[in-house]
Every structure is written in C-alpha cells, then in structure tokens.
Amino acid sequence: MRTDGSGALVVGGASGLGEATVRRLYEEGAHVLIADVNAESADALAGSLGDRAHAIQADVTDPRQVAEAVAAAKELPGGLRISICCAGIGWAERVASNRGPAALEPFETVIRVNLIGTFNVLRLAAAAMLEQEPTRSGERGVCINTASIAAFDGQIGQIAYSASKGGIVGMTLPAARDLARGGIRVCTIAPGTFDTPLLAGLPEENRQALAAAIPFPPRLGRPEEFAALAAHIVENEMLNGEVIRLDGALRMAPR
C-alpha cells in the first residue's frame, strides 16, 4: 500500500507512539486523521503539521465515536487505506495478596480499552476499507494494532495489561485470514520499553535501569522507531498476519 496520497487513521495518535506514527505518515505524504480521547492534544498536533492533518475526538470504548472517526477518515483524499491503533492504558496489581483478591473493575477497564477498543477500531476500519476499490495487486487497506512484549513476558502485577495485549496478539492471524479475500492486511507491533509519556514520569534511576536491561541497543526505544516499522508494514505487501516484536532482544524478567 502506498503511503503517499492515502488516507490514514491513527487512533491514540495525539501522543507517544501514535504521535510519532502520525508525524511519519504525514512526512511520507499521507492524509492523516488523528483520533484521540484528548481532543485538545489532537487538534494541536494537527495544527502543527499542516493541511493534510485533521483531528477528531474518539474514545475507543465508544462504538459511536469510533464510527464517526472512521466515517471522517473515509472522506480523506485517497479514502481510508491505513488504520493504526495505538490507544491503550495500563494497571499494576497482583492477582491476589494479603490484602485480598485483585479488584475486578480495573481489570475490566484495561480489557475494555486495550483489547475491545482495538477490536472496535479494527472491525469498523476494515468494513470501511472493504468499500474501497482495490489496487492493481488487489489490496484495499492495512490495519496495524499495538500489543506489547508483556503479551509474552508479563511481569508481576501485569495480569490485566498482559491479558489485554495477549488478546491483541491472538486476534492478529484470524483477523488477517478473515480479511484476506477482501485485500486487507492485518499486523501487530509488540514494542518493548519505549521512551513514551508513560515512562517519562519515572525517576531517572528507574529509566536507566529499564534501558540497561535491553541487550542491544542498551537504551529505551524511540517512538520514531515504532513509527518507522509501522510505515514499513504499510508499504510491504507481504507482511500480513504477523506480530513483530520491537524490543532490542529484551525478554522481561519476572519483576
């Protein structure tokens, strides 16, 4: 799928990995719709880029808001050809402790945002892409989801986050198979420890410890590196049904 001239929807696109992806797609000539629960940040990013960038408020857990974002993306020049979901949240709590069992509501919330929210974007974006005319090779679009290496190496306290990201990993291949005859590809990126706003609030000592655990390069990942992989997936037609770890060979320890 050519990025230049295509319409792209980036959900969770106002900060972190999503913002870097928006910037990369815009640089490569896409018309980008930034969908984010933080409307002010999305508007500010769109305004800083130029006339091929637009913004809309969207909560991934709200089917109506996601449907509105997808409808707006369909109106972009080139139509909706690229959908990337970076929206997600975290929560740390053990399954049970001397204080009792883990609270159920936070677990449900993480699953609702990370897993159900991702599926919500995927199902609606894919349906819109099926309306597109295929390219010469028969392709109509590409959907990229964001998991985490926590899907494979979940640490102590990551039960909710790991379950949600594991679900995203698990639906990658069946989604690709479901959509194959429509010419829509589906891939997932599973990043390791990246220098995002989530980690920015940690003390420098903790940040350095996280970086030192990565075999090579011994540093936190850069959002621009996530964006570069997303851009490559868009352009590389043979990448389909894959979950790609982007982690510098990191395998997370139990804690």
For residue 244, report the phi and psi dihedrals to the nearest 5 degrees: -110, 120
Residue (of 154, 253, 246, 153) closest to 191 by Cα position? 246
Please pick, among 26, 91, 161, 226, the residue that the annotation labels catalytic. Answer: 161
For residue 214, report the phi and psi dihedrals to the nearest 5 degrees: -85, 125
d(CA 4, CA 59) in angstroms, rounded, equals 27
Region at 103 (left for phi over 0; alpha for psi -120 to 50; beta for the rest)? beta
User: Which two structure tokens, joined as six digits, stand for 123?
Assistant: 């199902």
User: Which two structure tokens, joined as six digits, stand for 206?
Assistant: 């903790």
Pairing of strands 80-85, 7-11: parallel
d(CA 119, CA 134) in angstroms, rounded, equals 23
Q: Is 26 a catalytic residue?
A: no
Q: Which residues are catalytic?
A: 161
